[in-house]
Amino acid sequence: MKPQEPIPHNYSMAKLNLIFAVSALGLLFVTGGIVLYDYVRGWKWFQWEFIRIQQERLQQDLRAAQQGENRTRMAQLDKQIKQQELTIAAHRQQYVLAQRDLDQWEGQHYAADEDYRFAKANLDAKRYELEMAVLQKRRDRAQTRKEYIDLSNHVDDLQLRLQAVTRDRDAVQARVNAWLKKIKDAEDTRKQLTASIDLVKKQLAAVSTNGQFFILNAPMLDFISPTFKIDQVVLPDLFVNVNYMEVPRVDRCQTCHRAIDQPGFESKKEAARLSAELQQKLDTYQIPQNKRAATEQRIAQLKRIQDAPQEILNPWRTHPKLDLFVGSASAHPLLEYGCTSCHHGMDRATEFGRAGHVPPNAKMERRWSGFWNVAKRQWGYEENPFDETPMYPRQYYEAGCVKCHANQVQIKGGAQITRAEATVELIGCYACHKIANWRFTGLRKPGPDLTGIAEKTTPEWAIRWISEPHDFRSTTRMPSFFYQRNMVGPAVPAAERAQNIKYQDAEIRAIVEYLFSKSKHRVWPAPGPGDAARGKQLVNTIGCLGCHVDTETVKGATTGEMRLARRTDFPLERNYGFNLTGVGTKTNAAWIYNWVRNPKAYYPEAPMPSLRLSDQEAADVTAYLVTLQKPQFMQKPIRPVDPEAVRELAKGYLVNTRTDRDAEAKLKTMPMHEQLVYLGQRSIEKYGCYSCHNIDGFEGLKPIGTDLTIEGSKALHLFDFGFVHDYKAEDGVHEHVLHTVPSWIYNKLRSPRIYDDLRTKAYNDKLKMPNFHLTPEEARLVTTVVLGLTKDQIGADKIAATDPQTRAAQEGLKLVSQHNCRACHIVDGYGRAIASLISDTNFLPPDLTPEGARAQSPFLFNFLKDPTVMKIRPWVSVRMPTFQFTDAEANTLVGMFAAEGKAHEFDNAVYSMPPASNVAVGREVFNMLRCAQCHATTPVNPEAPPVPKTASTQSLAPNLTLARVRLRHDWIPDWIRRPNEMIPGTRMPANFPRDPATGGFISPLANAIDSPQFAKSKAALMPYFKSEADLKRTMADPVALTEYLRDYIWSIGITQIRAAAPNQAPAVIAPPSMPKQLPAMKTGRAEQGGGVTAGR
């Protein structure tokens, strides 16, 4: 055959083969690459790492279970297990024998049964035969009958035999069952002995990375049932805005944060904190008996974490507050709230950079950014200028509370946000910046009234004060508007700086001119002669220092040297009133005298309450306060005002509405004073002074600042960072400006004009926000609040504190905050700033935590309206002020206490009179427990009980005759049983101590009643009991005893006190002159009737 002619073509086959081969290979690799690219995801690494951590922890647990103290236990266990196994083996032998026996008996039983059945069948056949034989009258019928009877007897025999066999078989069966049970019991015991270890082993097997694991997660096979997978939770009533549409959140955070809901992966520090907390709860019987064992196990687990060789790093940690968040039994379970509802962030993202992580500080930013490198823990952070919900950095976590808890003053478990909101309220951010939520609306103007400034101080002082308030008082809340960084700072060119100073001088002067020209000039009566020493004594003892600080220097924490104080050196509550230093320089004796007597006469909305000072006391206090001088402040030079600067500034405003020529002409008609007043008015408008102060001519104007209601939802690109990256703050702290929203806000607060650095701006266009000299801590707190003010949509049932009772409590707590009750009292668990000044807790104002459960509401209402109706603790020198609450306010407070104290139920026993026998028993118990050693039981005038000498033993406890009108009927016995648990540190001793084993109360009289010292009492008590056993049973019963005590106390109580005077304000001093400008004298509502209104 002729070889086939090669077909001629224009290409080389060999070359083509090569090209195909290469491109096929190329395609193969590309395909492989695509698969790999799709396969290798960041979150998988986190899941892999978590498996490794789990293995490590479990192995550690296993070792812990087998080692150390447990080793001897384990050895014992092993012995027991061996024992059990031997037992099982022995039992098994017995069982086998028994079973063999049983088998035999079963055979016999079967045979017997069969014989019987067959015989019975034969008998039936025979019976038929017999019947037929009888019927047919056969001959052999006699024979048949005989056969039948024989057979019948045989059947009976067989039946008996069957029964016997069955009985025997059942007996053997029971024996077999008994052995079986013994074996099972032994095996159960063994299982129990190894249960904890078996559990760990089982868990270990569940996270083992065996062949099956690799196959399930292999590329291209992992669609079947992979263990690496994205975890997500859908939150139907928490929304996220995606392109103008609110869609439910889908949180995928758990994909990487695997351990977030699994206890056992806490950081060492958290473990230490949690175990200490739990131990404390165990020790104080706060954990129910049935949960104590579980709690002890949890503490052991936490201890193991603390002893573990390696720390667990952040992405794999357990949520540190599982009792509050994430945990299924917590208030915010994961399945309902997810993560981003609190933390913010992109809910659906599974990559670090996209998820909206925000670095808390420069160091973390440096670490996070940079190309993905797990080794260096560079997660690939990227800033997203358009993300409206970036995550809150860790120092602002509690910002996330605000969106649902905006209806609350106090957020349980949110100490930082509660404090932050109180700080915002104290500093008064809400005055210039509208914050349209319940918490920050309806609050008073934070600054004092300026409509009577001329009565209070001089223009010279006011100029110096406005120039730099902090020079006068380092802790003042009045911010510095002038001579700030963007006006006179180092970055401002020298020529511009000189001009700015001239302008600022003119503005300050103009503002003062305006204020004084508009001021009222009432003449206040001068005080009589006062004793400054006694005045100082009064200021120190009657409670002034709860709200006012009287010092401006504190000891530095590190150097120990004296330095200027800042607000944060004192409790928040003590910054409520102004710092008393220099008050004598600022104002005059007449003003002080009238102010301390009745602040509301000067300014009806004054926050200061009346301490009911007598004329002499007021004169003494005045004499003391005028000695608080700061002469050096008044020596600060005041630069003369440049008329040209005034003219230029005034013209700047005039040309807004006029032509240049008209403005010039208008100016020519205005003398200097008029120009100043005009410029002053415009400057007050410019700087927004009226937002905080009551100023004549600015009533009803809108506040000046940016609306902050949804500030926390503003995306990064809307913030002007200027050119600043880092700077040295005025307190010497080096601050970084990160390109994040929280950092912008924080630095804005720390140094409000910082973003003007290196900018070129006209004088009036420069940033105007004044400098509050916030400490880093304050700035952090305020930033937390601002970040929390978002436009996030929330389902109605997720909004907290909407039920009427919580509303009542929160309304009351808002009043508590507004009136600074926590300066002297502990309310709802915290407060009492004044405690830092009074070392002996016996002389502190009372802890009001249990007030709702303690006091009867009508009494409380009356007392709040008019504290003079009863003096409960005459030895306490701090005075409860008269706040001149309206009925509505007093009712709100009473409602708050009732809701907090869970005492909203009507206490109808209050009006009952206990039976005489109860009173008699109670009196005897009262004597036996020697209650009268501290408590007086003689009736006194409730308005002026005798002030005890402190040396007297019958001194520092309330007079019990006042209990009946004041205390709740059900509260007294409860209090007697556990005073220290209700008010830690109280002087009232626990007379019924807790039994450490059971947590129950023990009665000291249980045995003592038989002792000779109580023989008389016993004899006196006997008539009231059926038998001695009955008496002893009662004496051993703390509940019964405390109720008898209560009944006795009830029987000696007075039943009536004076109702609150309708106008409790002290008489207002009517100034003799300037009647036209008298303020409307609000002296409280004129109530009719004067009776007690039920405060519910």
The footprint of other proteins on residues 44-103 (CB under 8 A) is 45, 48-49, 52, 68-69
CB closer to other proteins out of 35 and 1074: 35
CB closer to other proteins out of 225 and 933: 933
Backbone CA torsion sign across 532, 536, 539, 541: negative
Applying CB under 8 A, does 984 fall inside the site for other proteins? yes
What 3-state class would DSSP assign to 579?
A: coil
Q: Which of residues 488-547 bind other proteins (CB under 8 A)?
A: none
Q: Which residues pair with 826 in a beta bridge?
A: 831, 847
Binder to other proteins among 55, 868, 986, 1077 (CB under 8 A)? 986
Residue 72 token pair:
């001897």
Cα 410 from Cα 414, distance rounded (Å): 8
Q: Which of residues 172-191 bind other proteins (CB under 8 A)?
A: none
Which DSSP string corresponds to 505-532?
HHHHHHHHHHHHHH-----PPPP----H
Whether 477 and 426 have beta carbons less than 8 Å apart is answered as: yes
Applying CB under 8 A, does 218 fall inside the site for other proteins? yes
Please report how close the Cβ of residue 1042 comes to other proteins at its closest, in angstroms: 13
Please report how close the Cβ of residue 252 comes to other proteins at its closest, in angstroms: 21
Cα 341 from Cα 297, distance rounded (Å): 32
Binder to other proteins among 395, 458, 713, 868 (CB under 8 A)? 395
Q: Residue 1091 to residues 886, 1053, 1084: CA-CA distances in angstroms? A: 15, 20, 16
CA-only gyration radius of the chain, Å:
43
Applying CB under 8 A, does 374 fall inside the site for other proteins? yes
Binder to other proteins among 22, 24, 36, 436 (CB under 8 A)? 36
Cα 251 from Cα 257, distance rounded (Å): 11
Q: Which of residues 281-320 bind other proteins (CB under 8 A)?
A: 283-284, 303, 306-307, 310-311, 313-314
Please report how close the Cβ of residue 271 comes to other proteins at its closest, in angstroms: 8
Q: Are strands 553-555 and 562-564 parallel, antiparallel or unpaired?
A: antiparallel
Q: In 3D, which of 912, 804, 922, 901 has the Cα closest to residue 855?
A: 901
Cα 823 from Cα 831, distance rounded (Å): 6
Whether 822 and 833 have beta carbons less than 8 Å apart is answered as: yes
Q: Which of residues 411-430 bind other proteins (CB under 8 A)?
A: none
Applying CB under 8 A, does 1005 fall inside the site for other proteins? yes
Residue 32 token pair:
């492989």
Binder to other proteins among 63, 202, 291, 376 (CB under 8 A)? 376
CB closer to other proteins out of 368 and 971: 368
CB closer to other proteins out of 203 and 306: 306
Applying CB under 8 A, does 1013 fall inside the site for other proteins? yes
Whether 303 and 269 have beta carbons less than 8 Å apart is answered as: no
Question: In this structure, which amino acid lies at residue 927?
Answer: N
Q: In 3D, which of 159, 168, 149 has the Cα closest to residue 114?
A: 159
Applying CB under 8 A, does 224 fall inside the site for other proteins? no
Question: Among 337-345, 657-665, 1006-1014, 1034-1042, which window interacts with other proteins (CB under 8 A)?
Answer: 1006-1014
Applying CB under 8 A, does 198 fall inside the site for other proteins? no
Please report how close the Cβ of residue 952 comes to other proteins at its closest, in angstroms: 5
Please report how close the Cβ of residue 748 comes to other proteins at its closest, in angstroms: 20
Q: Which of residues 721-750 bind other proteins (CB under 8 A)?
A: none
Applying CB under 8 A, does 24 fall inside the site for other proteins? no
Cα 7 from Cα 292, distance rounded (Å): 93
Q: Which of residues 910-939 bind other proteins (CB under 8 A)?
A: 928-931, 933-934
Applying CB under 8 A, does 1031 fall inside the site for other proteins? no
166's CB contacts (< 8 A; 6+ apart) are: 109
Task: Provide the mask over 940-959, with x wherever binding to other proteins is found by CB under 8 A and - wherever it is not.
Answer: ----------xxxxxxx---
Please report how close the Cβ of residue 550 comes to other proteins at its closest, in angstroms: 28
Please report how close the Cβ of residue 1053 comes to other proteins at its closest, in angstroms: 22
CB closer to other proteins out of 455 and 778: 778
Cα 618 from Cα 621, distance rounded (Å): 5
What 3-state class would DSSP assign to 735?
A: strand
CB closer to other proteins out of 30 and 888: 30
Burial of 408 (0-12, 13-18, 19+ CB in 10 A): buried
Please report how close the Cβ of residue 376 comes to other proteins at its closest, in angstroms: 7
> Within 13 Å and on the Cβ side, how many CA atoms surround 983?
23
Binder to other proteins among 25, 35, 125, 206 (CB under 8 A)? 35
Question: Among 196-204, 371-379, 583-591, 805-813, which window interacts with other proteins (CB under 8 A)?
Answer: 371-379
What 3-state class would DSSP assign to 825?
A: coil
Question: Among 241-249, 817-825, 887-895, 980-988, which window interacts with other proteins (CB under 8 A)?
Answer: 980-988
Question: In this structure, which amino acid lies at residue 145?
Answer: R
Cα 365 from Cα 725, distance rounded (Å): 13
Helix axes 643-654, 660-669, angle to 10 degrees: 130
Binder to other proteins among 874, 993, 999, 1079 (CB under 8 A)? 993
CB closer to other proteins out of 548 and 923: 923
Please report how close the Cβ of residue 48 comes to other proteins at its closest, in angstroms: 6
Please report how close the Cβ of residue 473 comes to other proteins at its closest, in angstroms: 27
Please report how close the Cβ of residue 741 comes to other proteins at its closest, in angstroms: 19
CB closer to other proteins out of 51 and 634: 51
Cα 477 from Cα 428, distance rounded (Å): 8
Please report how close the Cβ of residue 69 comes to other proteins at its closest, in angstroms: 8
Binder to other proteins among 71, 181, 291, 363 (CB under 8 A)? 363
Burial of 490 (0-12, 13-18, 19+ CB in 10 A): exposed
Alpha carbon of residue 37 to chain centroid: 45
Applying CB under 8 A, does 441 fall inside the site for other proteins? no
Q: Which residues pair with 610 in a beta bridge?
A: 882
CB closer to other proteins out of 983 and 1052: 983
Please report how close the Cβ of residue 840 comes to other proteins at its closest, in angstroms: 10
- Determine how many CB atoms are found less than 10 A away from the CB of residue 584: 19
**How many residues sit in the footprint of other proteins (CB under 8 A)?**
73
Cα 860 from Cα 866, distance rounded (Å): 10
Cα 638 from Cα 505, distance rounded (Å): 9
Please report how close the Cβ of residue 383 comes to other proteins at its closest, in angstroms: 20
Applying CB under 8 A, does 208 fall inside the site for other proteins? no
Q: Which of residues 228-287 bind other proteins (CB under 8 A)?
A: 267-269, 272, 280, 283-284
Whether 861 and 1095 have beta carbons less than 8 Å apart is answered as: yes
Question: In this structure, which amino acid lies at residue 384?
Answer: N
Binder to other proteins among 167, 394, 636, 1016 (CB under 8 A)? 394
Residue 197 token pair:
């270890």
Strand ranges, E, within 66-199? none
Cα 338 from Cα 998, distance rounded (Å): 39
Q: Which of residues 822-851 bind other proteins (CB under 8 A)?
A: 842
Cα 118 from Cα 114, distance rounded (Å): 6
Binder to other proteins among 82, 229, 377, 1082 (CB under 8 A)? 377
Binder to other proteins among 219, 370, 528, 1072 (CB under 8 A)? 219
Question: In this structure, which amino acid lies at residue 854?
Answer: R
CB closer to other proteins out of 62 and 488: 62
Please report how close the Cβ of residue 755 comes to other proteins at its closest, in angstroms: 24
Please report how close the Cβ of residue 990 comes to other proteins at its closest, in angstroms: 5
Binder to other proteins among 107, 370, 442, 989 (CB under 8 A)? 989
